[in-house]
């Protein structure tokens, strides 16, 4: 076949590639494969038109294109990966990112927004995120459009000269061209740091547009075929990597002393009022210093999570916090990485998010009910540690509570609920079924506490046979965590 002058692909070849990609869409849907295509690279490299020509034959109902260049204030006020994570596609869907975290990390660094250490930390966090995503079934295709200094300058000039496109060239683009070599080095470093066999970078040289289109189509189609082959007939189930985080030893639940952990009512009322007042003041400080906070509650059924949360929440300014009761995932949530619905609920700076049950469902109910594979929940300890590290790296105060009661106390509370008409809605058959699995749960919980008790996100056990005691302790721990963070901030 004769190539068009100067191109490496004939028109027929490109047409065939475009049809091939369109045909893959159906397979992606059938196989429920979630696909992310990141098109990154230099300013004026033509990312947008590269994506446009790639999708020309695709069914526009099954993919989305996100322009990641501009960051909104709402996004600024959340962890670095937030704006990417919330946009992850569901099974059988394709998301194109025009610009990605690679470019964002490099620009943050070279503009002085982050220092060397933070830059490296971000790259590490991206690499972990991509591993967690691909281990959980995502296909991430990363393309970098490369352009040399002279060509970039020419392209920027061409854009500036037409009145239809002049608005697209901003100061930052010109600054990049002036500092081309510095950028080239940083891009290279960032690509190397995030290069893995599951998730390699494809560098495409910008030149002839038809070649670029052919290259993109062929990279994407090959990556999809590669993954489909890997899934094969028996599926794809990734084994856990070694947990690299330092863990602090924590007592197994059986050894948690519950007797004697009680507060008399009068003392409780007095202390509660004082602590709530204190927390209320600290909440305003958080708000003004723009510090985000996450309070995570896990615990046995009827352990008193709801009442505990209420005592914390009622001390807070209602405009600055949200409580998220976490039930079984919706179909949209089930169709994505298990952490998606938590990324989605992260607080803005200055705000508090309280979770009534959390991402730890993965290693408790999902493990015990067989909603995910053994590898899935085994991997989750590390995936959760990484997620929590991303939160604390972003300055979030993270408090994790396990609300502990013994089996007799649970029975007593269940029976009381059953016998009190206004409380009957609180008790279901499922609660009784779960109770039968107490020992299985206890084993899983002990393992969970041990494997996720990191230095940056340690667990606190709330002894809750006496609810007053547990509430006072929760308030004290929350207050302590805020005070510590404020002290840190003052030192900075």
Residues making contact with a second copy (CB under 8 A): 23, 26, 29-30, 48, 51-52, 55-57, 59-62, 64-65, 67, 72-74, 96, 98, 164, 167, 281, 284, 288, 306, 309-310, 313-314, 317-319, 322-325, 330-332, 354, 356, 422, 425
Choice between 131 and 305, CB closer to a second copy: 305
Backbone phi and psi for residue 266, each to the nearest 5 degrees, phi listed first: -60, -45
Nearest CB to a second copy, comparing residues 119 and 355: 355
Q: Residue 130: which residues within 8 A CB-CB, separation 6 or more?
A: 140, 194, 196, 198, 199
236 close to 135: Cβ distance less than 8 angstroms: no
Nearer to a second copy (CB atom), residue 163 or residue 234: 163
Q: Least distance to a second copy from the beta carbon of 72, Å?
A: 6
The pair of three-digit structure tokens given for residue 328, joined into one six-digit string: 């079984």
CB of 46 to a second copy, least distance (A): 12
CB closer to a second copy out of 195 and 332: 332
**Residues 6+ positions from 165 with CB-CB distance below 8 Å:** 158, 159
Q: Least separation, in Å, of the C-beta of 318 and a second copy?
A: 4
Closest to a second copy by CB, 58 vs 184, is: 58
Instruction: Report the SS3 class of residue 187.
Output: helix
Q: Give the per-residue SS3 of 226-245.
A: HHHHHHCCCCCCCCCCCCCC
> Would you say 72 or 490 has its CB closer to a second copy?
72
Least distance in angstroms from the C-beta of 109 to a second copy: 25
> Rounded to whole angstroms, how far apart are CA atoms 208 and 336?
37
Q: How far is the CB of 325 from a second copy (least distance, A)?
A: 4
Give the nearest distance from C-beta 24 to a second copy in angstroms: 12
Q: Specify the residue, 23 or 411, whose C-beta has the smaller distance to a second copy.
A: 23
Nearer of residues 242 and 319 to a second copy, judged by Cβ: 319
Structure tokens at 29: 């849907």
Number of Cβ within a 10 Å radius of residue 20 = 17
Rounded-to-5 percentages of helix, strand, coil across the chain: 55, 15, 35
CA distance 220 to 194: 19
Nearer to a second copy, 172 or 178 (CB): 172
- Cβ atoms of residues 340 and 387 within 8 Å: no
Cα–Cα distance measured from residue 388 to residue 185, given in angstroms and rounded to the nearest whole number:
30
d(CA 95, CA 139): 10
The full length of the chain comes to 492
Task: Quote the least distance from Cβ 313 to a second copy, whole Å.
Answer: 4
- Give the whole-angstrom CA distance, residue 141 versus residue 129: 14
């Amino acid at each position: 076949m004769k190539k068009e002058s100067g191109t490496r692909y004939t028109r027929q070849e490109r047409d065939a590639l475009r049809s091939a990609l369109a045909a893959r869409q159906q397979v992606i849907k059938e196989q429920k494969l979630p696909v992310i295509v990141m098109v990154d690279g230099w300013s004026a490299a033509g990312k947008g038109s590269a994506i446009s020509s790639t999708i020309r034959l695709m069914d526009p109902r099954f993919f989305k294109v996100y322009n990641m260049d501009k960051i909104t204030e709402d996004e600024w006020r959340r962890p670095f990966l937030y704006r990417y994570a919330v946009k992850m596609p569901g099974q059988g869907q394709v998301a194109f990112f025009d610009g990605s975290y690679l470019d964002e990390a490099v620009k943050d660094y070279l503009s002085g927004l982050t220092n060397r250490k933070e830059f490296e930390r971000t790259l590490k966090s991206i690499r972990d995120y991509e591993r967690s995503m691909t281990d959980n079934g995502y296909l991430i295709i990363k393309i970098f459009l490369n352009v040399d200094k002279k060509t970039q300058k020419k392209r920027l000039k061409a854009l500036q000269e037409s009145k239809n496109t002049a608005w697209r060239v901003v100061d930052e683009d010109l600054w990049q061209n002036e500092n081309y070599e510095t950028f080239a080095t940083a891009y290279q470093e960032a690509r190397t740091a995030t290069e893995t066999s599951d998730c390699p970078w494809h560098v495409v040289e910008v030149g002839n547009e038809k070649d670029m289109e052919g290259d993109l189509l062929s990279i994407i189609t090959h990556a999809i075929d590669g993954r489909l082959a890997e899934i094969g007939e028996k599926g794809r189930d990734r084994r856990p990597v070694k947990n690299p985080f330092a863990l602090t030893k924590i007592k197994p639940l059986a050894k948690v002393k519950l007797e004697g952990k009680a507060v008399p009512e009068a003392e409780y009322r007095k202390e509660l009022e004082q602590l709530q007042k204190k927390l209320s003041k600290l909440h305003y400080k958080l708000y003004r210093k723009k510090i985000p906070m996450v309070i995570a509650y896990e615990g046995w059924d009827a352990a008193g999570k709801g009442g505990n949360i209420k005592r914390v929440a009622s001390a807070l300014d209602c405009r600055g916090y949200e409580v998220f009761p976490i039930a079984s995932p919706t179909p949209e949530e089930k169709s994505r990485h298990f952490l998606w619905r938590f990324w989605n609920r992260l607080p803005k700076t200055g705000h508090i998010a309280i979770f009534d049950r959390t991402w730890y469902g993965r290693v408790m109910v999902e493990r015990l009910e067989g909603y995910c594979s053994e590898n899935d929940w085994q991997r989750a300890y590390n995936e959760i540690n990484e997620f929590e590290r991303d939160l604390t790296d972003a300055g979030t105060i993270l408090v994790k509570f396990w609300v502990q009661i013994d089996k007799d106390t649970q029975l007593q509370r269940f029976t009381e609920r059953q016998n009190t008409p206004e409380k009957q809605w609180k008790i279901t058959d499922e609660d009784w079924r779960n109770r039968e699995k107490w020992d299985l749960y206890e084993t899983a919980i002990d393992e969970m506490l041990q494997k996720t008790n990191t230095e940056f996100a340690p667990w606190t056990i709330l002894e809750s046979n006496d609810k007053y005691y547990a509430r006072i302790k929760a308030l004290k721990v929350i207050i302590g965590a805020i005070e510590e963070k404020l002290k840190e901030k003052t030192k900075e």
